[in-house]
Structure 1
Amino acid sequence: MIVDCHVNIFERDQFTPPAVDLTGTARPGGVPMLADADTIYEALQGVDKAILFSPRYKDSVGIDGNDEVTAAAVAKYPDKFVGFACVDPRRPDYMELLEHAVGTLKLQGVKFGPIYNGVSLDDPRMDPVYAYCQKNDLPLTMHMGTTFARDTPLDAGRPIHVDAVAQRYPDLKMIMAHMGHPWIDECIVVARKRPNVYAEVSAICYRPWQFYQAMISAQEYLIADRNKIFWGTDFPFAQVDESLADLRNINRFVEGTPLPKVSNETIEGIIHSNPFDHWWHTPPRL
């Protein structure tokens, strides 16, 4: 089984480019911001399951997400999609929206972008989210790492801040997206330290040297083969084929050198990692 654990979904009218469109700095050539349910379904033919969420990042990157869009996509393609809610703790109704997303829309996890919403992980507004997720066995995927958006606090994206939250909520499954780039070693040591914390590799395949170093660090810290690192694309920022190919060919730059190699066990273990076996205390009914 191949599971894409990180897919963004939004309708055409939910994306409004900011006054200065910076998606071209996300990766060379820019990003086609097209991610409706049908587009995603066609683009993800190469995976068995995909975890979707609709980010509420209107002021930072122009994506005005909606959990209803996620739920509608799951209803349309139930054999393919699993939906997570998105939370913006700046909204006065953020907990009502979360409870609706889980209780009524039946979404099975939560996505939060501290750097995009400008709300740090230790902000008191996050405690009700953590408590609700822990009580209801909902994994929390967090955008950890930098971003191309300008009006965002970089420190909010550092993986080191996950450590204290994971200690306070030991039964909350927390997933650090994007290996926390460029603070990759912070991400790795936190995942190694905390049994309830995981990482995933979405959207770092197109930075090949950084990607290679991340996988070598994961091996050296002995977490690469412990069901701690999961595979994803961050569609539409990366595609399925390139994300798989770049991981399987990650050693191409070091062939014929004395530099260490990423093992095939690490590569295939990440590609075939299964969040549904690890991110919930009781696996969800799919």
Structure 2
Amino acid sequence: MPIDLAQIKAIDVHVHAEVSCHDPEDPVMGKFFDAASSYFKVPRERPKLPEIVEIYRAQQIAFCLFTVDCESGIGAKRVSNYEIADFAAQHDDICIPFASIDPHKGKLGAREARDLIENHGVRGFKFHHIMQDIEPAARVGYPIYEVIAEYGLPAIFHTGHSGIGTGLRGGGGIRLKYGQPMLVDDVAVDFPDIKIILAHPSWPWVDESLSMALHKENVFIDLSGWSPKYFQPQIIQYANTQLRHKMLFGSDFPLIRPDKWLEAAKQVGFRDDVLPGIMKDNAARLLGLG
């Protein structure tokens, strides 16, 4: 059943599936979950897929669901893209499957991307180059981008600071430099058919994301990972004006709950005629839902 836009109040483009329904939590990821839970001051237990869909259906919020494949970068076993895609297919009135493939997997990763798109209904991709320990424009990842571009699908790129690794010795080995938004600019130029979503407000490089979204027709910004009450003033300024059609609601669930994000968003100065676009309409157009 396709998503009925009239029956939902928002689209959350940034929801993590962090544990499998079939396999135990990976202990390597466990230490990063511990640190992130402390940083965000949220419960340590990670919800499984049925609980996630129950939360979002109860709130009438559609959502993009993905894991993060960082098997090469930090050696943590990923949640299967196929598990996520097959689960989303059972709940396609509310859940939109995205996939994550470590760019180090190159051509083999491109084969997986094509299979997920053609045979499992995947509608977009998620990259987290900080956790994947690789530059966004590293050529080894280009075969994966080529498949995404061929189908004109969106891809979310983590940008800015990362709660993952915060407070750990050496940041858990995670290098923040790969989260600089301008490192994605080459990808935006080389793959103009990919709808690139720069995830998070990108602090401490906020202005780079705003510049890229102004400059590149195919670059958008999701506002996940921060409560709106902590947004820098220029985010609100551009969301209300030049980038009103390019800003997207994302929560970063389970670290931030969607209802908490939406409630805070009503208090920070988004114009009344802009907020519906951020909450739902901009994402609906980008994802081809309306």
| TM-score bin (small chain) | 0.7 to 0.9
Instruction: Establish whether residue 180 from structure 1 lines up as the match of residue 202 from structure 2.
Output: yes
For residues 224 and 180 of structure 1, what CA distance do their matches in structure 2 show?
Answer: 15
For residues 188 and 61 of structure 1, what CA distance do their matches in structure 2 show?
Answer: 33
Instruction: Establish whether residue 40 from structure 1 lines up as the match of residue 58 from structure 2.
Output: no
Cα-to-partner distance string for 1:231-253 (whole Å, 9 max, x where unaligned): 01111011121010111112xxx
Residue in structure 2 matching 1:192, options 209, 214, 222? 214
Aligned length: 267
- The aligned residue for residue 208 of structure 1 is 229
Cα-to-partner distance string for 1:112-133 (whole Å, 9 max, x where unaligned): 1111101111201121122111
For residues 183 and 22 of structure 1, what CA distance do their matches in structure 2 show?
Answer: 23
Q: Residues 247-266 of structure 1 correspond to what in structure 2 (within 5 A)?
A: 247-250=265-268, 261-266=269-274
- The aligned residue for residue 253 of structure 1 is none
- The aligned residue for residue 254 of structure 1 is none
Instruction: Establish whether residue 68 from structure 1 lines up as the match of residue 77 from structure 2.
Output: no
Structure 2 counterpart SS, 1:49: strand
Residue in structure 1 matching 2:99, options 70, 85, 93? 85
- The aligned residue for residue 11 of structure 2 is 3
Instruction: Establish whether residue 223 from structure 1 lines up as the match of residue 249 from structure 2.
Output: no
For residues 55 and 11 of structure 1, what CA distance do their matches in structure 2 show?
Answer: 12
* Stretches of structure 1 lacking an aligned partner (at least 5 in a row): 251-260
RMSD: 2.4
Tell me how far 1:147 sits from its aligned partner.
1.1
Q: Residues 124-143 of structure 1 correspond to what in structure 2 (within 5 A)?
A: 124-143=139-158
Label 1:43 to 1:182 Cα distance change in 2 as closer, same or farther (>3 A). farther
Instruction: Establish whether residue 161 from structure 1 lines up as the match of residue 199 from structure 2.
Output: no
Label 1:14 to 1:55 Cα distance change in 2 as closer, same or farther (>3 A). farther
Instruction: Establish whether residue 245 from structure 1 lines up as the match of residue 263 from structure 2.
Output: yes
Q: What amino acid sits opposite 2:64 in the alignment? A: I
Instruction: Establish whether residue 273 from structure 1 lines up as the match of residue 281 from structure 2.
Output: yes
Cα-to-partner distance string for 1:28-70 (whole Å, 9 max, x where unaligned): x244342322111122122341111122235649562211221
Tell me how far 1:212 sits from its aligned partner.
4.7
Question: How high is the TM-score relative to the length of structure 1?
Answer: 0.84
The ranges of structure 1 where at least 4 consecutive aligned residues each deviate by more than 6 angstroms after the TM superposition are none
Q: What amino acid sits opposite 1:64 in the alignment? A: R
Question: How high is the TM-score relative to the length of structure 2?
Answer: 0.83
